[in-house]
Structure formats: C-alpha cells, structure tokens
Amino acid sequence: MCGLSNVYKRWYMKTLNKSSTPLKPVKLCISFILLLVPIIFSCSQDPIFYNLSMEDEPKDPRIAGRPASMAVVVNSPDNRMYTGTIAGKKIHYYTNTGWKTAISIPQGSLGDLAAIDEDLYVLVFPGSDPSKSTALKKYDGVKWEDIDTSELSDDGYRIQNLFSAGGKIYAGAMKSSSSSTTYAILCYDPGDPPDTPSATTVKKDLSSLLKGVAEATDGIYLAMSRAGVYKISLSLNDMVYVPDVSGDLPDASGKGSYGNIIGIIETGGIIVAVSNDGKIYQIDGGVMSEPITAAGSNFTGAMCVWRSYESGYTDSNPVYNNWKPTLLLLGTRSKNDSQNFGYLEMILAAGGAPTEELKTPGEEDKPTSAPMKRAKYQASIAKHPIESFAQPVELFSSDPDVEYVPLFAATAQSGLWVCKNGAWTAQE
C-alpha cells in the first residue's frame, strides 16, 4: 500500500522520541489520518506507484536462471518443446497438455538445444568449462546417441551454440589461446549418416562466432556477429559475404561493413537480420535493403514469427493451417534505460513478408502477441532481456479447438516466461 506501513512506523517512533508521554489513542488516530491524506494523494498521482500496482507477485520459474534455446520436436502425436537451464543437469519438455517429467542429461550439463523433425540435438558440457570440452548428442525420445565432432575438436575448437535449418544442424565453435581467438562452423546432416554419425567442418579460422541460421530458397544465411551476414549454398560448397547497399566488403580483420549481426530468421520468403545497434536488415534473393532503425532500442538477437489463429487459413505446411504469420517479434534493450528490455512487434504483410511497421506489445494497438494493458506489459516481461522466443504451434496442430498457443520467452537471468490468458508471467 505505497509503503504506508513503513511511513507509519517512522512517524510513530519519531512521535515517541519527542515526548515522554505517549499520545492518547484518539489523538494518535487523528494525527495518523492527517498524515495519510497527502501520501494517498501522491500515490494516486505518481506513476511509480501505478507501475508497482501493475506488477504481479513474483513467482519462481520452472526453468530458472538462463534457459537454453527452445527446440520443438515433431513426432506426432507426441510433439514436444524442450528447454532447460544452461549448465543444468536436466531437460524439461512441454506438450499440449502441459509440462512433463524432466530428463537427465548423460555425462554432462546442458549447453544448448536444436531439433530436426523427431530428433533433439543437445550441446553437452562434460566439464565445468565449455572452452575446454564439449560434446554433441542426439536424443530420439528414448535413447541417446553421440555425434562425432572430432574433425573440429581435434583442432582445438569447442562448440558454443546450436541451430537448425534446411534439415541440418549447424554449430558455432570457438578456439582460444593466449594470443588469439578464432571461430568455426560445424554442420551435421542426419539425412545420409555413415556408420558412425559425424559432423563436418563448413569453415574454420573465422573472425566471428555464428549467432544464427536461416534457410531461403537460394541457400542458408548465417548471422556472423561482427563479420555480418554470409550465405552458403545448400550443398555447403561455398560461403560468400552479403554486402549492404554500399557494396563494401569486410575489412582486413574480417569485420563486416555494417552492424554486429546477432540474430536472423526467414519469414515470407525474406531473410530478416538484426544488429546489436538497433538496425533491421532485409535480404531478398541475396540482396540486402536499406536498414530500418528501431528508435531508442538495440536488439538482443531473440526473434520469432508469431502466428494468430484464423479459421480457413492454409499454408504449404499443414502444421500451420489456421495459423497465420502475423507478427515478427524482436527482443530489445533500451538505449537510454538500463532497466527497460522486452521486445518489439513488426507487422507482417500477406504471406508473412516483413514490413517497416514496428510497435510495442499491448492491447492498445492490435494485432499483438500480448493482449494486456501496456502498463502491465512494461511491469512484467519488459523488465527482462529476452534471449529467445518460441510459439510451439506444432504442439497444437491436431487440435482444431485451440485458438491461442502460449508464447514463451527465455530471459538472460530470470528464467523462462510465458504469455497466456492475456498476461506475461514466469512459467511455473
């Protein structure tokens, strides 16, 4: 109640200290009521108190700390979304009926997750230091299988993250010494496995870490942090830089001619990449357009296509029938306020193509992924930096009665959050 109990305590103790004779009860009550009037009036006027009233009671999230990327496994009717705390010993999974029993990770702790069809791929840290030892494992829902990564690990590289695109798993790897740090990209193709499943090197001795992967009809696009965006052919035969409108190429150190690219996604046949200085780049057919600048915001790299229910909508993928791509969600951090995070929503055109229209979530401006008062949004998920999103529509594709699928957000330090029933809360 605007901290009134503390105000009363301080006032009462001050009153006792001033007089050796306590006030009579009636005088005490009258004096306190007179004290309350200006305080209550100030509470009704001060936006700080209003914002506090919008906050929900804190809850302990099911997946605490820093969750790994969420990965959806499609193995109908047992479709699942997996996640877990990075450096934790267990993986949790979610189905269309809720959360299920956690799965223990063999011989290590969790580093990252990715999925292809019915299989989950897990980056495992066998020891406490991921710069010294990493492993890649496949989990089919029953048994675990090791993926051989010795082609890179024997050269001193250690896997740092996982992504999936085009039916393949891509991994960003790092090698550090006292004098330098170099990076590499590893690829695992489960379509034609040898007797011993093994991953192959796409490129090594790079200047930047892989931060994201997206598939288009003309190839696979890679977000390469400070090096910019690169494209590789579907056959992995070549890797070429995608220049911006200036046409400039990377400098001698490998730094790209535009922003530090930390996230990438495909929507409506267009590749969308974001930089950590608040710019959005759209790539169509290998050609990059003039960037869009998000006023007052930098990006975290979290990206997700949010789908709204629309009866009769059809898609080339039957999983998405009745689920229309409506918004592109982009995790943000304010340039001016160190406590302001959350995300922006980009309106998508017909077929999911990106536009230049950006807005803040909230029911005041629809369509929105968070049908709640904007002040409620600001007092909840907007207080936390988001590292990844997931809207697991695949879990509910066989249920025609479901018209809203929960939206999940993995935060940097505050665990897994979920938006459902019109509100963002920590996922219990």
What single string gives the DSSP state of each residue in 323-341?
EEEEEEEEEEEESS-TT--
For the stretch 131-144, pLDDT in tens is 789 999 999 999 99
Q: What is the pLDDT of residues 290-300, one digit of tens each?
A: 999 998 999 99
* Burial bucket for residue 27 (CB in 10 Å: 0-12, 13-18, 19+): exposed
Q: What are phi and psi of 422, to 5 degrees?
A: 75, 25
| Inter-residue contact 164 to 145 (CB < 8 Å) | no
Confidence of residue 129 (pLDDT cuts 50, 70, 90): confident
pLDDT digits 0-9 by tens, 387-414? 999 999 999 887 777 888 999 999 999 9
**Residue type at 422 in one-letter notation:** G
Which one is predicted more confidently, 23 or 269?
269
Q: What's the whole-number average pLDDT of the chain?
A: 86
- Burial letters 98-133, b for 16+ CB under 10 A, else e: eeeeebebeebbbbbbbbbeebbbbbbbeeeebeee
pLDDT of 55 reads 55
Q: Model confidence at 234, in pLDDT bands (50, 70, 90)?
A: confident
Closest CA to 185 of 246, 230, 121: 230
Confidence of residue 104 (pLDDT cuts 50, 70, 90): very high
Distance (Å, rounded) from C-alpha 165 to C-alpha 217? 12
* pLDDT reading at 18 higher than 70: no
**DSSP-assigned states of every residue in 54-101:** HPPPP---SS-SSBPPPEEE--TTS-EEEE-BTT-SEEEEEETTEE--
**pLDDT per position as a tens digit, 336-381:** 888 899 999 999 998 899 999 999 999 888 899 999 999 999 999 9
pLDDT at site 27: 54
What local confidence, expressed as pLDDT, does residue 321 receive? 87
Q: How far is CA 299 from CA 133, 293, 369, 388, 398, in A?
A: 30, 11, 18, 12, 34
- Element (DSSP H or E) covering residue 150: helix 150-153
- pLDDT for residue 23: 47
Confidence of residue 289 (pLDDT cuts 50, 70, 90): very high
pLDDT value at position 54?
52
- Residue 34, pLDDT score: 52
Using the predicted structure, report yes or no on whether residue 195 has a pLDDT greater than 80: no
The pLDDT assigned to 5 comes to 45
* Ranges of each domain in the chain: 4-45
Single pTM value for the model: 0.86
- Could you report the per-residue pLDDT of 1-15, keeping only the tens digit for each? 444 444 444 444 444
Least confidently predicted of 22-31, 166-175, 189-198, 272-281: 22-31
User: From CA 302, how far away is CA 390, in angstroms rounded?
Assistant: 10
pLDDT computed for residue 14 by the predictor: 47
